[in-house]
Amino acid sequence: KAGVTQTPRYLIKTRGQQVTLSCSPISGHRSVSWYQQTPGQGLQFLFEYFSETQRNKGNFPGRFSGRQFSNSRSEMNVSTLELGDSALYLCASSKQVATNEKLFFGSGTQLSVL
Amino acid sequence: SQKIEQNSEALNIQEGKTATLTCNYTNYSPAYLQWYRQDPGRGPVFLLLIRENEKEKRKERLKVTFDTTLKQSLFHITASQPADSATYLCALNAGNNRKLIWGLGTSLAVNP
């Protein structure tokens, strides 16, 4: 069974640009959660999607958005990039809602904003 | 304020010894707590989940305890090996919306 796949693996952008990250969950998993990880802040929850609906949201500005498709694949978009958005972005999938189950993470997208 | 804390300093131990990592939390009443392992440049990998009504959980060389009175979880790796070297994260569900809250992790180095 294939694991969680995130693309691209690395990304370099400049301030003001926008970026779209992609996540394909494990087959049969309906929940996808997104996290931002930085050395100082650790894993910070962005949002969770379940059956195409945003179920939960973290404390991030509206520049961060996401969506989930009918095949459970998810995308995350960050508009008007800032230097502070440089981080490892991780997505995680689970069969049901994330807070009741163990999470399966992808390898992440390392975003660098110059 | 609500927070979850793990040993901030890296833990260095000798191969074969038992590693013990700590996760403390305040102002939460989590229904369960999870432990993950993370290697550099990779996503976390699930290890163990322990529920509030469980005192202890084991899986091979791993053992987790959960003390809701002390608001603490201990994670033990017995007969440690260099391959156990990684960062270990604890996470608990918290708040009315039950979001997962994560500690910053503890770096473990097992020396041969």
Contact B47, B36 (CB under 8 A): yes
* Residue of chain A whose Cα is closest to the Cα of B8: A40
pLDDT for A101:
80
User: For residue B100, which residues of chain A lie inside 8 Å, CB to CB?
Assistant: 33, 45, 98-99, 103
Contacts of B44 (CB under 8 A, 6+ apart): A43, A90, A103, A105, B36, B37, B38, B89
What is the per-residue pLDDT across A87-114, written as a single tens digit (0 to 9) for each?
999 999 998 876 668 899 999 999 999 9
For the ranges A3-17, A75-89, B20-34, B90-104, which has the lowest average pLDDT? Answer: B90-104
For residues A64 and B43, what is the distance between their CA atoms, to the nearest angstrom?
Answer: 20
Residue A8 tokens read as 């691209």
Residue B82 tokens read as 């260099």
Contact A24, A4 (CB under 8 A): yes
What is the per-residue pLDDT across B37-64, written as a single tens digit (0 to 9) for each?
999 989 999 999 998 889 899 999 999 9
User: For residue B98, which residues of chain A lie inside 8 Å, CB to CB?
Assistant: 99-100
Interface of A with B (CB under 8 A): 4, 33, 42-45, 56, 58, 90, 92, 98-100, 102-108, 110
Q: How much is the average pLDDT of A18-32?
A: 96
Cβ contact (<8 Å) for B99 and A99?
yes
Residue A64 tokens read as 């961060």
For residues A28 and A3, what is the distance between their CA atoms, to the nearest angstrom?
Answer: 11
